[in-house]
């Protein structure tokens, strides 16, 4: 087998820690390490998993980590030098500042949806535009809501041709571990001005789609729900729409017999399957909700797990940029198999199960 | 002045107690009394306001109320006999059962949105179809969400002509005093199947409107928010849409300078104005949210106070049915003036301020 692509994770928050775990499960990738600033519980867990921990200011962080009983492998820059590609999962806006470093070191980099499209000129969704990222130096993986919209919109557009889409995004107010945000008891149009940025963000991947989005925050932490209205060319049968969605990976049509009634049910499915962190990386489309009126207006609901749906997209983006794969469906299938996406099989049974993390430095 | 129309309130919950207070403020109506089953705090407050309290089973309830220091004025049936019209604000489904009693006593009755359209054959919204209710014996005032939709849809349809509407209703999960319902932390498509009943319910008032609705429950108690997408004939300017909405009563365009960012802000406005119970009886349309795309698709957000927006509609419905008014705009203006709707004037300054409740029995 060819050498594995060495991936450095700069940023180890909600997305970074998940991408690190996903990279560690790929048989064509190796995790160089992750960057942390403080020896908190995440650092202990990362060390337990065998991940090398790097720090922006190694000289300063080293003694702090040492006192906590943890070892620093070196500086951020040292980590990036060892890598073939960097995934920058730092907080919104920091990625843009980090780009100069990646340029200096000549390393390709993936940025997340918090950064602007203009930073890279290419915004990515595996199903919609994998080919555009092939061999590119800088690519942005769009955010959780936009990723889910791209999957759905691409599936419907490629089957029927979209005339107009209006989607209301009912957004979770905060992630489960975020105690700083509200509201406790209110519905918050956010932004109040319309459209929200999500429509233009979909267009950064698929410029020809006519889409308007409206977003509101509500007091829940589990997942977003999209209320989707899409008018298409012609008037497909409801079953045609169901079939068009079912043929695409990462869109899970939740059948009525599952008895899943809410975002709580969707996330409980991820938990009972034993998935890491209980993640639900697919769009969960309620099959019952799919409807088509006499004029070809499709309506449906989908749940979107904000913490994890972009993870497989990051993996495919690494493959496209580094030349590991030229065929999007093959890359997506490989990624999905490794992460257990789209199956009711319990997580412990997924091949390949990484036998610890390969130590890149020791090769 | 002509004799006042005597109104009996059968049911004294969220809607009933508000309609009673609103009736008491009308100079062309008198409140016969209200029906209660138990001497709870609502009964003490009603007695304090001077409302006569009746009970379904007066013989049984009398001693219980007496022990609590409250007086029963008689049975439900006695209350209804004294009235010119009954407003039935009993829980969903009970109204349908009560209809036989109103028929037996030959009294016209208003039912609320929890009952089916078929119960009366006429569903009512003052702006949209006041004239249909004139002189009728049984009329249903549509529910909170449908009332707000009717106001908005009528305003836009009469100005531009609606081609298609898709509205996502982000619903409060429960009223503020309802401790039995959830969810605590989830978004619940309700119903999961599309469309929701609200679209057909709008069509029960305006049959020609092509509208699809989708509804979700979220963990908040204050108010609903509607994310509205309406395509109209032609492509009006944004300002045309703002003007078309502004000319209708009960649609309050919340200007950006108010700094109202959420349902919490909308309801705080009702509270600082000193309105009874802090109610916000208008559709609160965020003016900033009004947008029109190049194809004539209008998008906007509106907040809807589920406890109170139907109250002025009930008052106008009484006028239409009993012949107190033939002109919807005159009736609406009179109602709105009495309830302080559409003004920043503090509640204490509204004419007419009822000098207690006129004792119908004493006349």
**Residue B109: enclosing H or E segment and its boundaries?**
strand B109-111
**Residue A7: enclosing H or E segment and its boundaries?**
strand A5-10
The reply to whether residue B172 touches residue A187, judged by beta carbons under 8 angstroms, is: yes
> Per the structure block, which two tokens stand in for B184?
């605590």
> Given this model, what pLDDT does residue A354 score?
39
> Given this model, what pLDDT does residue B215 score?
98
Q: What predicted TM-score, i.e. pTM, was given to this entire model?
A: 0.92
Q: How many CB pairs under 8 A join A and B?
A: 163
Q: Could you say which of A188, A286, A299 has the minimum Cβ distance to residue B262?
A: A188
Residues near B19 by beta carbon (within 8 Å), at least 6 away in sequence? B9, B87, B89, B311, B314, B315
- CA nearest B162: which of B212, B214, B224, B113? B212
Strand partners, B31: B7
Whole-number Å distance between alpha carbons of B88 and B40 = 20
> Per the structure block, which two tokens stand in for A30?
């190796």
Q: Could you say which of A188, A214, A289 has the minimum Cβ distance to residue B227?
A: A214
List all residues of chain B from 104 to 143 with a beta carbon under 8 Å from chain A. Answer: none
Task: State the smallest CA–CA distance between residue B260 and chain A in angstroms.
Answer: 10
Chain centre distance of CA A64? 32
Count Cβ atoms below 10 Å from residue B265 Cβ, excluding itself: 18
> Given this model, what pLDDT does residue A56 score?
87
Contacts 24+ apart (CB under 8 A), A350-356: A352/A25, A352/A27, A353/A25, A354/A24, A354/A25, A356/A49, A356/A50
Q: Does the CB of A293 have a partner CB in chain B at under 8 Å? A: yes
The reply to whether residue A185 touches residue B212, judged by beta carbons under 8 angstroms, is: no
Q: Does the CB of B195 have a partner CB in chain A at under 8 Å? A: yes
- Please, what is the Cα angle at A206 between A201 and A212, to 5 degrees? 50
Q: Give the ipTM of the model, two decimals please.
A: 0.90
Chain B residues in contact with A231 by the CB 8 A cut-off are 164
Domain ranges of chain B: 5-142+310-362, 144-304
CA-nearest residue of chain B to A163?
B295
Whole-number Å distance between alpha carbons of A34 and A90 = 11
DSSP class of residue A345? S
Q: Could you say which of B189, B223, B300 has the minimum Cβ distance to residue A301?
A: B189
Strand partners, A160: none
> Given this model, what pLDDT does residue B352 score?
55
Residues of B acting as catalytic residues: 144
Q: Does the CB of B288 have a partner CB in chain A at under 8 Å? A: yes
Looking up tokens 């995004």, which residue turns up? A169
The reply to whether residue A227 touches residue B172, judged by beta carbons under 8 angstroms, is: no
- CA nearest B2: which of B360, B355, B324, B318? B324
Whole-number Å distance between alpha carbons of A23 and A17 = 10
Q: Does the CB of B210 have a partner CB in chain A at under 8 Å? A: yes
> Given this model, what pLDDT does residue B358 score?
36
The reply to whether residue B262 touches residue A218, judged by beta carbons under 8 angstroms, is: no
> What is the residue-level pLDDT of chain B in tens, covering all 363 positions?
468 999 999 999 999 999 999 999 999 999 999 999 899 999 999 999 999 999 988 999 999 999 999 999 999 999 999 999 999 999 999 999 999 999 999 999 999 999 999 999 999 999 999 999 999 999 999 999 999 999 999 999 999 999 999 999 999 999 999 999 999 999 999 999 999 999 999 999 999 999 999 999 999 999 999 999 999 999 999 999 999 999 999 999 999 999 999 999 999 999 999 888 999 999 999 999 999 999 999 999 999 999 999 999 999 999 999 999 999 999 999 999 999 998 887 777 766 543 333 333 322
**Residue A303: enclosing H or E segment and its boundaries?**
strand A297-304
Q: In this predicted model, what pLDDT tens digit does every residue of B191-247 receive, in sequence order?
A: 999 999 999 999 999 999 999 999 999 999 999 999 999 999 999 999 999 999 999
> Given this model, what pLDDT does residue A356 score?
36
Task: State the smallest CA–CA distance between residue A212 and chain B in angstroms.
Answer: 8
Task: State the smallest CA–CA distance between residue B189 and chain A in angstroms.
Answer: 6
The reply to whether residue A186 touches residue B227, judged by beta carbons under 8 angstroms, is: no
3-state helix, strand, coil in chain B (%, to 5): 40, 20, 40
Q: Could you say which of A168, A219, A293 has the minimum Cβ distance to residue B218?
A: A219
Chain A residues in contact with B231 by the CB 8 A cut-off are 164
Q: Does the CB of A189 have a partner CB in chain B at under 8 Å? A: yes
Q: Does the CB of B166 have a partner CB in chain A at under 8 Å? A: yes
Q: In this predicted model, what pLDDT tens digit does every residue of B3-30 receive, in sequence order?
A: 899 999 999 999 999 999 999 999 999 9
| Beta pairing, strands B211-218 & B162-172 | parallel
Looking up tokens 């998008």, which residue turns up? B299
Q: Does the CB of B299 have a partner CB in chain A at under 8 Å? A: yes
Exposed e or buried b for every residue in A180-191, given b needs 16+ CB within 10 A?
eeebebbbbbbe
State in words which class domain A5-142+310-362 has.
alpha beta
Same fold, B5-142+310-362 and B144-304: no
Q: Could you say which of B164, B261, B286 has the minimum Cβ distance to residue A297?
A: B164
- Please, what is the Cα angle at A312 between A222 and A346, to 5 degrees? 70
- CA nearest B160: which of B82, B108, B233, B224? B233
**Three-state secondary-structure class, residue B179:** coil
> What is the residue-level pLDDT of chain A in tens, covering all 363 positions?
468 999 999 999 999 999 999 999 999 999 999 999 899 999 999 999 999 999 988 999 999 999 999 999 999 999 999 999 999 999 999 999 999 999 999 999 999 999 999 999 999 999 999 999 999 999 999 999 999 999 999 999 999 999 999 999 999 999 999 999 999 999 999 999 999 999 999 999 999 999 999 999 999 999 999 999 999 999 999 999 999 999 999 999 999 999 999 999 999 999 999 888 999 999 999 999 999 999 999 999 999 999 999 999 999 999 999 999 999 999 999 999 999 998 888 777 766 543 433 333 322
Q: Could you say which of A214, A225, A262 has the minimum Cβ distance to residue B301?
A: A214
> Given this model, what pLDDT does residue A344 score?
83
Chain A residues in contact with B221 by the CB 8 A cut-off are 185
Whole-number Å distance between alpha carbons of B188 and B196 = 13
The reply to whether residue B227 touches residue A221, judged by beta carbons under 8 angstroms, is: no
Q: Does the CB of B242 have a partner CB in chain A at under 8 Å? A: no
Chain B residues in contact with A300 by the CB 8 A cut-off are 194
CATH superfamily of this structure's domain A144-304: Dihydrodipicolinate Reductase; domain 2 (3.30.360.10)
**Three-state secondary-structure class, residue A351:** coil
> Per the structure block, which two tokens stand in for A197?
């940025």
């Amino acid at each position: 087998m060819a050498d594995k692509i060495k991936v450095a994770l700069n940023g180890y928050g909600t997305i970074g820690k998940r991408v690190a775990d996903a990279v560690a499960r790929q048989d064509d990738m190796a995790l160089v390490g992750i960057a942390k600033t403080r020896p908190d519980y995440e650092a202990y867990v990362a060390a337990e998993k065998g991940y090398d921990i790097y720090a922006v200011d190694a000289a300063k962080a080293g003694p702090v980590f040492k006192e906590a009983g943890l070892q620093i492998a070196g500086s951020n820059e040292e980590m990036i030098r060892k890598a073939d590609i960097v995934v920058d999962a730092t907080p919104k806006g920091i990625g843009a500042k980090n780009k100069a470093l990646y340029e200096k070191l000549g390393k390709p980099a993936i940025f997340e949806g918090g950064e602007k499209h203009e930073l890279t000129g290419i915004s990515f969704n595996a199903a919609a535009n994998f080919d555009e990222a092939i061999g590119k130096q800088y690519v942005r993986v769009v955010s959780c809501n936009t990723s889910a919209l791209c999957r759905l919109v691409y599936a419907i557009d490629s089957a029927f041709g979209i005339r107009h889409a209006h989607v209301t995004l009912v957004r979770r107010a905060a992630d489960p571990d975020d105690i700083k945000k509200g509201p406790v008891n209110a519905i918050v149009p956010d932004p109040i001005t319309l459209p929200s940025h999500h429509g233009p963000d979909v267009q950064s991947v698929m410029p020809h789609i006519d889409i308007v989005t409206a977003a509101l925050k509500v007091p829940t932490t589990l997942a977003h729900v999209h209320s989707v209205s899409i008018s298409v060319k012609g008037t497909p049968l409801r079953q045609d729409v169901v079939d068009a969605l079912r043929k695409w990976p990462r869109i899970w049509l939740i059948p009525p017999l599952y008895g899943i009634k809410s975002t709580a049910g969707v996330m409980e499915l991820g938990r009972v399957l034993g998935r890491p962190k209980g993640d639900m990386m697919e769009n969960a489309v309620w099959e019952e909700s799919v409807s088509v009126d006499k004029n070809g207006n499709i309506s449906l609901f989908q749940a979107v797990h904000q913490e994890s749906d972009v993870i497989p997209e990051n993996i495919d983006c690494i493959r496209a940029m580094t030349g590991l794969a030229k065929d999007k469906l093959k890359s997506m299938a490989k990624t999905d198999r490794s992460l257990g996406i789209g199956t009711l099989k319990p997580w412990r049974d997924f091949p390949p199960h990484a036998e610890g993390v390969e130590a890149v430095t020791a090769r």
